[in-house]
Amino acid sequence: MPAPGVPSVTNITLGWLLRLRWVGVAAQITAIWIAGVVLELELPWRPLLAVIGLTALSNVLLQLFAKPFWKLGEGTLTAVIAGDVLLLTTLIYFTGGASNPFTSFYLVLVALAAMSLSPKGLTAIVVLATAAYFFVYYNGIPLRGPGGIGEIGCPAYSLHLQGMAVAFFLTALCVAYFVRRMLRSLQTREAALAAAEARAARADQFSALAALAAGVAHELGSPLGTIAVASHELELTLAKQAAPGPLEDATLIRQEVERCRRILDRLDQRSTAGTGAVSEVCTTTLLIEEVKTALSAAMLARLLVHDLTENSTLNLPVQPVVQALVIFIQNACEADTSGKPVELEISLAADQLLLAVLDHGPGMSAAAVKHAGEPFFTTKPPRQGMGLGLFLVRTLATQLGGEMQHLARDGGGTIAALQLPAVHPDS
């Protein structure tokens, strides 16, 4: 089954087959007009026009009403190609049988079947086309016209040879054009499918990380709590005994335990934030205030905000987006230790909400930009980061149908951007 939003091979082939059928209708009308009016051949007009009309009508019905049946898969496509074989056979039967140069158009239908059907379906089409050819070979109605046209060896037999040349050219053109365009459509489908698989893989990583974080927090929470209580009691006892050396050790144990607990809390919070978050109506002003509330005093003092949306109203999961911006701002402050301002810019363009954080740091290397957002990848020194922040931002962007990017800033520094679909409350 194709991923959501990715068309199946059957749907792609049906789409191109419908286009081919319209071209066929136009070509059939032109061919019988030349044969009947220009060459003055004796044609059974009613059956021929009935077949052409049936082709056009079936095409309209397929486009308007039959799309739900496309989901049935290969059976629908096989039936349409088989129907075209029968329609072509009817036309050839009334227009000279096997001597009709346009019998080569059986190969166009076989080529389409070869590109899109299973071996079983392809075998059925090949057998049907072969049987149809032999049927018109033995039963086709010969054409008659002035000067013996239609008879082998007649003075005008060269017209037949010319018709064969034209039919060969048109068959080659149809096969080359439609098969090439179908191939491009299939390549586009494969690219979309690969992107969908990558998104699914990232979602699996996110789920696995959330499960791991919950398990780690649960298993280590109790023993760390016990160690914290015991170290605090030991710290109080050593303080009463005025033992500075052991007291410093006990204080260090308690501090490191608290650090471990904060790491676990941050891991659990970051890995599970945003899962199942519901979109809510908010303004960009409210979003900015939520971001400021979540920042430390040091980061807040460096933050400059540029709201270019004029306080627009949006519909999005507020807390996950706030957390993503906090991660961007924290990374920007850590990348630039000079104390220069870190800028948050919010803008709307072409129904896209752009949240960008700009810093004056040294910038990111090409390798860092390439791997940014992968779980547990970090450029920070040991013990200063787990490499989960950008992973969670990228996961949020994927869930909301957006994108995370890191770009070089003119004059030095990095632009960390989160681009999301701008969903308005009334949309």
Q: Which pLDDT value is given to residue 219? A: 65
The pTM for the full model equals 0.45
| Segment 88-98 mean pLDDT | 86
pLDDT band at 344 (very low <50, low <70, confident <90, very high): very high
CA 59/CA 22 separation, integer angstroms: 8
* Chain mean position to CA 184: 16
Q: 147's torsion region: left (phi>0), alpha (psi -120 to 50) or beta? A: left
Decide if pLDDT at 49 tops 70. yes
Decide if pLDDT at 12 tops 70. no
Q: What CATH number should be reported for the domain whose range is 280-421? A: 3.30.565.10
CA 71/CA 203 separation, integer angstroms: 27
Give the chain's length: 427
CA 373/CA 355 separation, integer angstroms: 17
For residue 316, which of 345, 348, 283 has the smallest C-alpha distance? 283
pLDDT band at 234 (very low <50, low <70, confident <90, very high): confident
Q: Residue 343 forms beta bridges with which residues?
A: 304, 358
| Segment 351-359 mean pLDDT | 88
Q: What is the DSSP letter of 75?
A: H
CA 81/CA 13 separation, integer angstroms: 10
The tokens describing 345, both together, are: 């810019």
CA 161/CA 37 separation, integer angstroms: 19
CA 141/CA 90 separation, integer angstroms: 11
Q: What is the DSSP letter of 311?
A: S
In contact, 282 and 314? CB cutoff 8 Å = yes
Decide if pLDDT at 162 tops 50. yes
| Segment 332-348 mean pLDDT | 87
Please report which residue ranges of 336-414 form alpha helices under DSSP H: 366-371, 389-399
Decide if pLDDT at 34 tops 60. yes
CA 237/CA 227 separation, integer angstroms: 15
Q: Which residue has the higher pLDDT, 326 or 11?
A: 326
> First CA to last CA across the chain, in angstroms?
31
Give residue limits of the domains in the chain: 9-197, 201-272, 280-421
Q: Which pLDDT value is given to residue 145? A: 65
Q: Which pLDDT value is given to residue 2? A: 47
Q: Which pLDDT value is given to residue 153? A: 46
Q: Please report, for residues 36, 56, 135, the alpha-carbon distance to residue 28 in angstroms, rounded to integers and kept in the order given.
A: 12, 11, 20
Q: Which pLDDT value is given to residue 380? A: 64
Q: Which pLDDT value is given to residue 8? A: 63
Q: Which residue has the higher pLDDT, 69 or 138?
A: 138
Q: Please report, for residues 27, 96, 134, 254, the alpha-carbon distance to residue 149 in angstroms, rounded to integers and kept in the order given.
A: 21, 11, 23, 105
Most confident of 65-74, 175-184, 270-279, 330-339: 330-339
| Segment 162-186 mean pLDDT | 67
For 218-228, the pLDDT digits (tens) are 567 678 778 87
Q: Return mean pLDDT, the chain.
A: 76
| Segment 345-362 mean pLDDT | 86
| Segment 145-168 mean pLDDT | 57
For 251-295, the pLDDT digits (tens) are 888 788 877 776 666 555 555 454 456 778 888 888 889 888 888
Q: What is the DSSP letter of 415?
A: E
Q: Residue 326 forms beta bridges with which residues?
A: none
CA 426/CA 117 separation, integer angstroms: 45
Q: Which residue has the higher pLDDT, 60 or 375?
A: 60
In contact, 25 and 52? CB cutoff 8 Å = yes
Q: What share of the chain has pLDDT > 70, as a percent?
A: 70
